Amino acid sequence: MKKAKKGHRTDRLLVFSGTSNLNLAKEIVKHAGVELADAFVGKFPEGEIRVKINDNVRGADVFVIQSTCMPTNDNLMELLVMIDALKRASAGRITAVVPFYGYARQDRKDQPRVPITAKLVANILTTAGADRILTMDLHADQIQGFFDIPVDHLLAAPVFIDYFRKMVEQDDFVIAASDIGGVKRAWYFAEKLNTPIAIVDKKRSGPESVEAMHIIGDVKGKNVIIPDDMLATGGTLVQAAKFLKAKGAKKIYACMTHGIFSGQAVEKINDSEILEVVVSNTIPQAEREKVKKIKVLSVGKLFGEAIKRIHDEQTISELFR
C-alpha cells in the first residue's frame, strides 16, 4: 500500500453526490468500483439547503459529484454546503467533481462594470474547503487558472470521437468549427478522425444574430461534424448548419459536451438542417433523450476512471489518448 500523504489517507475512498445529476453519479461510482457514500441532501421548509453526512469521513479521500446546472444557484449552494459539512467532519481531502461548471461563460470583462463570475465561483469553492477540482470541457481553458488549487480538466472528445469513428471511415467527412473560437477543438477532432477541417467565420450583430458568414475550407458533397463545448439556445449552431448546407454539405451532425437546451433550443434543432446533435450527460438529459434528433452519450466511465487515478496519485492524461 502506498504511503499516505499528510492530510488524507489514500486507502479510504468515499464518493458522495448532490442531487443535480444523480444518474451520472451512479454511473461514475460503478466505473470507480465503489458505492455512493451515505449523505442526506434536501431542504428545510423555508428552502434552505439541508445536508447531513451519515458516513465517517475522518481522514478519507472524499469526492463530491455535483453539476452546477439549472437551477444553477441551488445546485451551487448545495455543493458548497456539502463541502463545508465534509470539511467540518475532518475529511482528509475534498475533491469537487463538477461535470458542468456553471457561470463558465462569465469568464472575462467584455463590458464595463460587469463581474467575472467564473472567478468568483472558483474563489467560493476554494473558500468552502475544496482541495481539488475535477471538471470537464470548461468554456474557456483559462478558468483553470482562476483556482488556487489543482484542477483536473477532462475532455469529452474521446467519447464523441469513438461514436463518430465508424461513420467517418465509411464516408467523406469534414470537421467544421462553427466560429473562430472553436478552431482548436475542431483541429483535435480532425486529427483523431483523420479528416479535413473547415471554419465558419461570422460577423455578429448581437448575441444570437449574425450579419454575414464566410467559410474557410471545402464542404461541398461532404458530411460535416460540428463540435463545441456547449449548446444553449442553439441559434449559432442552427445558423452555421444552414450556411454549411447552402455551401453544399450533405449530412450535418453536431456534438456538444454540455447540452443546456435553453429557451426554444430543441424546437430550433428539430426544424434545422442538422441530422443529429450528440451531447453528453454532464447535465441531466432525461427529456431530451426522447427527441429523435438528440443522442446522449455517457461520460460516467471517464469520470470514474479519473477518480480512481486521482485517488491512486496516477496521471489522468492517458484518458485523452
| Catalytic residue annotation | 202
Neighbours of 102 (CB within 10 A): 24
Cα distance between residue 150 and residue 123, in whole Å: 13
- Cα 4 from chain centre: 31
Cα distance between residue 162 and residue 222, in whole Å: 20
Cα distance between residue 238 and residue 263, in whole Å: 14
Render the burial of 126-163: b for 16+ CB within 10 Å, e for the rest: bebbbbbbbbbbbbbeebeebbeeebbbbbbbbbbbee
Strands 132-136 and 49-53: unpaired
**Residue 267 corresponds to which amino acid?**
E
Work out the burial of residue 197: count CB atoms within 10 Å of its CB; fewer than 13 is exposed, 13-18 middle, 19 or more buried: middle
